[in-house]
Structure 1
Amino acid sequence: MNVWHVVGTAALAAPPLVWSSLHAHSPEVRRWRQGTGQRTQVAGLGVRVFGTGEAVVVLLAGLASSERFWGKSYDVLGQNARVVAIDPIGFGASIRHPALQEIVDARVHVDAVLAVLRALDLHTQPVVFVGHSMGASLAIRAGARHAPTRAVVAFDAPLYRSAVEANGRIRHMGWFEALLSQGPLAERVCHWMCDNRTVARGVAVAISPRLPVAIARDSVEHTWPGYIAGFDSLVRDPGWTDALDVLAARNVPVRLVDGDKDPVPVPGRADELAARFTNISATRRLGGHRAPLSDPIGCASIVRAVLSEHGASDS
């Protein structure tokens, strides 16, 4: 066999072998399995519902993600609660939400989440809102608007006090989020993904070997209007401060959980808020920005503990 043929064959085989190795050894891949329950549409949003109990747990996915982010490790929550995992407006199975025909701000995002609870006849039940990243910001705001809220758990929350502060930390959110966060290039890339959705899913999987395939594929399930609306209203906008004031006035427990290597949250912000508000506690765990995916058992245990302590109607 010609030596150059051998070299060429090895060169072609190397990328798939590297991808397979990274994928096989990724903790996030090894620890994720599809969660229980069927995906469906409720009040215009993509939703997965499972479990039984008086209390309700609402799981809100982050930017460029879907409810599948909350995998099988979170099934344990269904032993004590009705669990509603939601794709926020513009993402996952909520990619075509009617609200995107108009201006989508934080209020509209919260309205859509609360509409799901009403449609499921769960709006009078005690609720624990749980979110990751952008979804954490949404969880805080939804918790402030919803009277039966018993607690909020916010993983890796981007709590920025201004758009300037947010823009300064965009580069820490990952290359994909940074690329799509602003500007004409971001818009062109997003439109290309919409026009070539199947190819875009394949590219997302190829460049994200450390993610479960389903999670990587869902990262491109959005449009430019949906992406930028979520980013501007739930990441750049500082409305979470007013929401925390409301939750503090009602003494609703808020648990802020950040990874110790997570570059997205402002350093010291969670501790600062915990020192200011008696209803807020700040926790740091090992890991980066995808704590609920990299440590699903630990994060599910946090939610389960909060649910046990605060989920009852008479808490």
Structure 2
Amino acid sequence: MSPAWESADPTRPRRRCERQLADDRPARCDHGRSGPPASPAGDPTSMPLPAPLPWTAPSHRRRAVPTRSIAVTAGAMAVAVSAWTIAHRRSPAVSAWRPPTVSGERLGRVWCRTGGSGSTGVVLLHGLVATGDVFGSSIDDLAERHVAAAPDLLGFGRSLDRQATDFGSDAHLSALDEAIDRACGDRPLLLGAHSMGSTLALRWAARNPTRVGRIVCLGAPIWPSSHAANEALGGMGPMARALLIDGRLAQSLCELNCAHRNLSGCVAATIAPRWPIPIARQASLHTWEAYVQAVHQQILHADWLPLLRRLDEARIPVEMVWGDQDPIGDVGYAKQLASEIPHLTVRRIGKADHTLPASRPRLLPSLLQAT
């Protein structure tokens, strides 16, 4: 059925809507005159339909960009980057540390840098979430006169073992037995250690008292009790509490670290600007089992007093050294023990912190070789 305005009767008055539709039709130029197009024989059915209106996409209002927020964020990031850069460049450890050139290999369960020659062997044991590389050029200096060995402790660095679950003291000492025997043979030994490695150095010497001539510990995590250790570490700030005291949070962070080691290494370098970047990035090379057992057995529940007394009975000199800005360990307690144990000495180094192996690369060789 045709619309009413297309009725066969051209004389019928058009309705209002029809007039409006006709008025909306575009005008066309026809031989110099404007107006509605002519229809042959007055037939309205032959008149062209109005052209469709052009389609326009609906406009969507975009949220205004928070310019002020972007500026504040950019400013905060710039300040953070500047602060990290300043702290990193001013760090004595960053400027003094050089990577060791002594090569390494797998010696039993641990990877170990070893080199040099001489009648005496020197073994260097690193701290928590670190590797033997922390000793840097000290390894090279010692290898000039001794057989030097710097293992990555069991479960850490290139000794990372995803399948193992036992990283207790006995497992560590057994792994060290094999590595030291293969690297140094039956030579008498000097032991140098940093942080957590100090506990293992004392333990190994107590099991092998006839082989050890001297022990030097840098930044040893010594406290009179596990309660004192927990309080001291918990008071170092949220990061220390999260990583050393809060077991559930530490495990969650460690699992995240294990799933994204490369990214975690970069994060470690970001939050530790005082360390050389290659050293800081190695902090991600461990498993949760290796980490938590090391924290509990070598730091929180280490039996310092019995170990030091046994070494004193064996007449093995032990020297404990801290930087005057090092928050790790109770130096006062160590001095108290030194007043009671003849073969224990305590020393403090001015303008130094927990980065002593990297910031003072000649310190450890000089102390170990002192007569």
Amino acid at match of 2:190: V
User: Secondary structure at 1:180's aligned position in 2?
Assistant: helix
User: Secondary structure at 1:21's aligned position in 2?
Assistant: helix
Structure 1 partner of 2:323: 259
Aligned partners of 2:173 and 2:237: how far apart in 1? 26
**Greater gyration radius:** 2
Aligned partners of 2:357 and 2:132: how far apart in 1? 12
Aligned residue pairs, count: 301
Deviation at 1:293? Answer: 2.0
Structure 1 residues 282-297: aligned runs within 5 Å: 282-286=346-350, 287-297=352-362
Deviation at 1:267? Answer: 3.5
Task: Report if the CA contact (8 A) 1:47-1:87 is conserved.
Answer: yes
Larger helix fraction of residues: 1
Aligned equivalent of 2:201, options 139, 148, 160: 139
Distance 1:82 1:153, change over 3 A: same
Amino acid at match of 2:155: G
Aligned partners of 1:145 and 1:76: how far apart in 2? 28
Task: Report if the CA contact (8 A) 2:215-2:368 is conserved.
Answer: no
Aligned partners of 2:114 and 2:290: how far apart in 1? 23
Alpha-carbon RMSD across the aligned residues, in angstroms, is: 2.4
Deviation at 1:131? Answer: 0.6
Deviation at 1:105? Answer: 2.2
Aligned equivalent of 2:229, options 166, 169, 172: 166
- More RCO (CA 8 Å, sep 6+): 1
Q: Could you tell which deviates more after superposition, 158-167 or 28-37?
A: 158-167
Structure 2 partner of 1:312: none
Structure 2 alignment gaps of length 5 or more: 1-66
Deviation at 1:23? Answer: 2.2
Distance 1:109 1:172, change over 3 A: farther
Structure 1 alignment gaps of length 5 or more: 310-315
User: Secondary structure at 1:283's aligned position in 2?
Assistant: strand
Distance 1:295 1:172, change over 3 A: farther
Aligned equivalent of 2:152, options 53, 74, 87: 87
Deviation at 1:88? Answer: 1.4
Deviation at 1:65? Answer: 0.8
Structure 2 partner of 1:117: 180
Deviation at 1:45? Answer: 0.8
State the TM-score, normalizing by the size of structure 2. 0.75
Aligned partners of 2:264 and 2:159: how far apart in 1? 18
Deviation at 1:179? Answer: 2.0
Distance 1:201 1:152, change over 3 A: same
State the TM-score, normalizing by the size of structure 1. 0.87
Identity among equivalent pairs (%): 30
Amino acid at match of 2:301: D
Distance 1:95 1:28, change over 3 A: same
Structure 1 partner of 2:188: 126
Q: Could you tell which deviates more after superposition, 72-81 or 30-39?
A: 72-81
Aligned partners of 1:276 and 1:101: how far apart in 2? 38
Structure 1 residues 143-162: aligned runs within 5 Å: 143-146=205-208, 147-162=210-225
Deviation at 1:57? Answer: 0.7
